Structure 1
Amino acid sequence: MALKRLNALRPLLRRSLAQQVHPPLASTSALSPLLCPGGACHPAACARLYATKKAKAKAKGQSAKVNINTALVEDIISLDAVMGDMSEVLNALKDDFTRNLSIRTSPGALDHIVVTTPDGKFPLNQLGQISMKSPQLIMVNMSSFPEATAAATRALREGSMNLNPEVDGTIIKVPVPKVTREHRENLVKMAKQFSNKAKESLRRLRSNALTQVKKAKEGHSEDTVRLVEKQIQQMADDMAADIDKQLAAKTKELLG
């Protein structure tokens, strides 16, 4: 009789023992307040939270922009003057792009071609009358300064516009060249050369400005001098970025 009762209780004993050895796992919802504040969250939400924290940490590690009151450091250097000089470099680059890197040759594109004469250097439009004879031909009338005809022809031929002028008395005939892929790529190379030249000018301006700051640093705290130097570097970096933008836009225009 006792043996029968023991056999009947055996399943209950096994179940109790199993629960003690392998306790039920805690549900993920119970852990969610630790992983996601405010309760349970979707795994994607956790990923977004983690990504946001990473982005904030990355931004925190980046150096902040400097914005100095220029009037307070005038006795060290005129930051407005430095900015003006750097802006002139960018404006000169834009001017070079407009005058020398045009896909379509037009009378206006020849205006600023520089002609070297015994009396000095002059823009072509001051020596001759430029007109469009036809969509395929530009005429330059040099009757006002016939002695400069040869020099003007040489300037047109040696310029960056791939021109092949022909002389007829005091008239220079300039056939409009066809726009080929090779011509476009050559113009892009010239655009890069102009941009590199502008960056070299920018580096010289930055170097000269930093040298001026070092010479005038006496009587000023190291922190102030360091901020001024950082401001100059930041100005140069921003202007270099603008040069890159101009080059990218011009390259896109030239390559079509």
Structure 2
Amino acid sequence: MTKDVINNMSTHMDKTIDALRKEYQRVRTGRASTGLLDEIKVDFYGTPSPINQVATLAVPEPRTITLQPWDAKMIPVIEKAIMNANLGLTPANDGKVIRLNIPPLTEERRKDIVKQLKKLAEDAKVAVRNIRRDAIDELKKQEKDKKISEDDLKRAEKEVQDVTNSHVAKIDEVFVHKEKEVMEV
């Protein structure tokens, strides 16, 4: 009984950390990443499609992203979608390939990004704590319904707290790694 609750809780916490990592991919650092373009939709013959489904994305250099559309007629549409995404990137094309040059970040901008990253990490920690609260509530309900003993409840609560602490530590680890990447000149 308690193992199911704890395993379920741990799975939800892992998903929270995965979501944080995905959020961090979307944050623009001084380094090129195709993850910056993940949320951009392009009007592909009347159908909004993710940009990676209409072009090949690559990072040939640390500060450059290239997009090679499968249909050359899509170049202006892709450029427009990138401009409308407000990424602060200006596409340049040579008729076949679109290049996005990632400008280096200023120190002030880096600090702003770190604040943004810290807020995302805090939000993830809050989510983990909410998951912990829900798990403890479920365990207390089981104890109230006499499905588990009071001793089992105490043991399970300790285990829940240990799992929570390990996930919070993972969130901190992910944050520190991303912070280091952002502050790198």
- TM norm structure 2: 0.72
Q: Which amino acid aligns with 1:113?
A: D
| Greater Rg by CA | 1
Question: Cα distance 1:93–1:244, how it changes in 2: closer, same or farther (>3 A)?
Answer: same
- Asked if 1 retains the 8 angstrom alpha-carbon contact of 2:57 and 2:65, the reply is yes
Change in 2 beyond 3 A, CA 1:151/1:253: closer
1:196 and 2:109 aligned: no
CA contact (8 A) 2:29 2:105 kept: no
Rounded Cα–Cα distance in structure 1 between residues aligned with 2:62 and 2:38: 20
Distance in 1, matches of 2:81 and 2:131, equals: 35
3-state DSSP of counterpart to 2:163: helix
Taking the TM superposition and a 5 Å limit, the aligned residue runs for 1:1-256 are: 73-74=2-3, 77-106=4-33, 108-110=34-36, 112-116=37-41, 119-120=47-48, 122=50, 124-131=51-58, 138-142=65-69, 144=71, 146=74, 148-149=77-78, 150-155=80-85, 158-159=86-87, 162-165=88-91, 172-217=98-143, 218-219=145-146, 220-256=148-184
Residue 214 of structure 1: how far off its partner (Å): 2.5
Q: Which runs of no fewer than 5 residues in structure 1 stay unpaired?
A: 1-71
Q: Which structure is richer in relative contact order (CA contacts within 8 A, separation 6 or more)?
A: 2
Instruction: State the distance in 1 between where 2:62 and 2:171 align.
Output: 33
Instruction: Look up the SS of the partner of 1:105 in the other structure.
Output: coil
Structure-2 change in CA distance of 1:116 and 1:214 (3 Å) = farther
Bigger strand share: 2
Letter of the aligned partner of 1:226 in structure 2? K
Q: Counterpart of 1:223 in structure 2: which amino acid?
A: D
Q: For the structure 1 residues 89 and 135, does the alpha-carbon distance in structure 2 shift closer, same or farther, using more than 3 Å as the test?
A: closer
8 Å CA contact 2:31–2:63 kept in 1: the answer is no
Encode CA deviations 1:79-118: one digit per residue, 9 max, x unaligned.
2222122122223323433453532225x454x5212357
TM-score (norm 1): 0.55
Once the two structures are superposed, residues 160-213 of structure 1 have per-residue CA deviations (whole angstroms, 9 ceiling, x without a partner) of: xx4233578886442321232123223212221221221122122112212222
CA contact (8 A) 1:139 1:173 kept: yes
From the superposition, tell whether residues 127 and 86 of structure 1 become closer, same or farther in structure 2 (CA, over 3 Å).
same
Contact 1:136 1:175 in 2 (8 A): yes
Change (3 A) 1:166 1:196: farther
- Give unpaired runs (5+ residues) of structure 2: none
Q: 2: distance between equivalents of 1:243 and 1:210?
A: 21
The count of corresponding residues between Structure 1 and Structure 2 is 176
